[in-house]
Amino acid sequence: MQTKDHDSSDSSSNEVNSLNEAAQILHLKRLLVTLKQQSEKEIKKLQNQLFSQEKISQSLKEQLLQSSAKFKKLQSNHDEELDALRDQFISLRNLLQQTQEELRFQNDQAVHASNKMQIIHSNQREEEASGKETERLREELSESNLRTQEMQALASKNYQKYEQEIQHLKHLLSQREIAEHQTEVIASHTVSYQLRLELEEIKQTLKQGNYDTKALETHYVEVLNEKVKLEHQIKQLQIELEHQSSNLAAFQIQIPDLNQSKKELEECLKEKENLLNHTLEKQEQLKERLFQMELSSQEKMQIQEKYELLKEEWNQLNESLEEALDIRVKSEQEVIRFSELLKEKNQILSEKEGQIFQLLRDKENQETHLHEMNHLVNESETRFKIAQQHLAKKLKEAAILSEKVEGQQRVLEEISQNNENFKIQINQLQASLGISQKQEKKLQEQLHDALKSTESQVSKWEEKYFCMYDKWQESENCVKKLKKIEEKHQQMQNLIANLGNFMGGPSSQNFLHTMQELVDKSNQQNNSEEEQPESVQHPSQEDEEKYDLFGMKFRQDKPKPNSLS
């Protein structure tokens, strides 16, 4: 009877041990599932980040291509405008030279005419009139020469000012491009540093998975040993049953209890076999996950290499863009680039907000998981107390259970550390959001300043253009006046040539009187034309509109008929 009681106590203790082991195995399974979920989430996050970086690099390439095409177009337009301005300047210079030559020729003709008048005419009135006209012509010639010199000086000054403005704008553009390049280099360094940190975290998770697999293997060996022990106990029980078959009548009361214990032991064996099969499947799944993690790490290394190549291409394109020379091209390019950068920053902000939202969700999931783990710890503690009440004699088993509880507490501490790490990541993302918002404000201010500078430059160019146009109109008016004076001189020469035929006749005095009247009339007409405003024009001249060198309309005066012919 004592041996039977001892056997029954051993069987009950074995049942309690099997139940505790089953609970521990379930707890380990749950921990493995949570670790897998965390690793999968981290892998998804890394994949999303790499995908976003690839998108950013592609968009940067497209922007560079577009900017280079626009730069070429604008440079060609600027070259064409410069050629047109040079041609206009050359044509104006030629016109000035022609007017100077004509004035010199007119001076020579006036001197020759005055000599002839002195030889032919003895009349003092005619000599005084011719002297006054020659002096007036000389004064007009000197004034026209001064005006041409002033025009040339103004043109040279304007050309020097334009060159200085172009050099200043080039310097400003180079400084802006250097600052943007530095910001992009800093951003690329931060991205590479974050990727390295994430790779280190993945390696740590892989190491933890390896440790967990090793612990499962050791537990599997222990379960197999316990299975062997149980089979040995079953064999012993069968031997005892064979020895006690002769005493069935005396021990019929104990037979159903033994059968029940046998059934319970068989059920425990089946459960442990199922658990072993499940653990083997989990080990295979973990190995597959580890292999996938290694493949993903290799892919990330390849992506980093591609990213570095793209950075080198980006640097080369920046160096090629530094050779730009144009004012309008740079201003328009800056406006376009700043607008596109603002769009990209807005996209990055939206992506970061999504990441923060995902991190908050992960935090909530982890908090729920922590509550579940605490509940499981409480359940395990209650079970541990029940086991202590039932098995006070077995101190060794109590020590083993306490060690397992400590292991669970360590797991809880690790989970709390992971939670703190996620909080740190959330704070970092919030800080990066603040930095990106500041950068967006700076870009908007730079856009505003660039627009103001372009508007001021456009207004300056318009003022310079209108000044040049007014001066050109003044020079044209001077040329017209000189042509009129030339026509009058020709008329005077014709009259002087015809005077030789009429000097000997009786009607010479009448002819000289009529000639003096015509000269007085012509002088009065010249004075009246000078007093009239330049804007008043004859209505018959509307059909003869032409365009000047600056693309503006002007009306060419028709030659008037000779008043003395």
What pLDDT score does 73 carry? 73
Q: What is the mean pLDDT of residues 384-398?
A: 66
Among 291, 325, 321, 383, CA closest to 26:
383
- Concatenating the DSSP letter of every residue in 14-53 gives HHHHHHHHHHHHHHHHHHHHHHHHHHHHHHHHHHHHHHHH
Q: Taking a C-beta distance cutoff of 8 angstroms, is the pair 331, 450 a contact?
A: yes
Average pLDDT, the chain: 68
Q: Taking a C-beta distance cutoff of 8 angstroms, is the pair 374, 420 a contact?
A: no
Task: Give tens-digit pLDDT for 526-564.
Answer: 555 555 444 434 434 434 444 444 444 444 444 444 433
Task: Give tens-digit pLDDT for 330-362.
Answer: 666 776 777 777 777 777 777 777 777 777 777
- Return the domain boundaries, the chain: 2-86+166-244+252-461
pLDDT band of 382, cuts 50, 70, 90: confident
Task: Give tens-digit pLDDT for 32-41.
Answer: 677 777 767 7
Q: Which residues of 256-293 are buried (b: 16+ CB within 10 A; e: fewer)?
A: eebeebeeebeebbeebeebbeebeebbeebeebbeeb
Helical (H) or strand (E) element with 248: none
Q: Which residues of 515-524 are buried (b: 16+ CB within 10 A; e: fewer)?
A: beeebeebee
Question: pTM for the full model?
Answer: 0.20
d(CA 317, CA 311): 10
DSSP classification of residue 504: S
Q: What is the mean pLDDT of residues 84-112?
A: 67
pLDDT band of 161, cuts 50, 70, 90: low
Cβ atoms within 10 Å of 141's Cβ, excluding its own? 20
What pLDDT score does 280 carry? 76
Three-class DSSP category at 554: strand
d(CA 219, CA 56): 49
pLDDT band of 246, cuts 50, 70, 90: low
More confident residue, 326 or 355: 355
The alpha-carbon radius of gyration of the chain (Å, integer) is: 53
Q: What is the mean pLDDT of residues 60-83?
A: 67
**What does the chain come to in residues?**
565
Q: What is the mean pLDDT of residues 58-63?
A: 67
Q: How far is CA 55 from the centre of its chain?
A: 12
* Amino acid in the structure at residue 373: M
Cβ atoms within 10 Å of 151's Cβ, excluding its own? 18
More confident residue, 487 or 294: 487
Cα angle 505, 506, 510; round to 5: 110
Q: How far is CA 363 from the centre of its chain?
A: 32
Per-residue pLDDT at 244 exceeds 80: no
- Concatenating the DSSP letter of every residue in 420-486 gives HHHHHHHHHHHHHHHHHHHHHHHHHHHHHHHHHHHHHHHHHHHHHHHHHHHHHHHHHHHHHHHHHHH
Strands (E), 302-371: none
Q: Taking a C-beta distance cutoff of 8 angstroms, is the pair 102, 486 a contact?
A: yes
CA-based end-to-end distance of the chain: 166
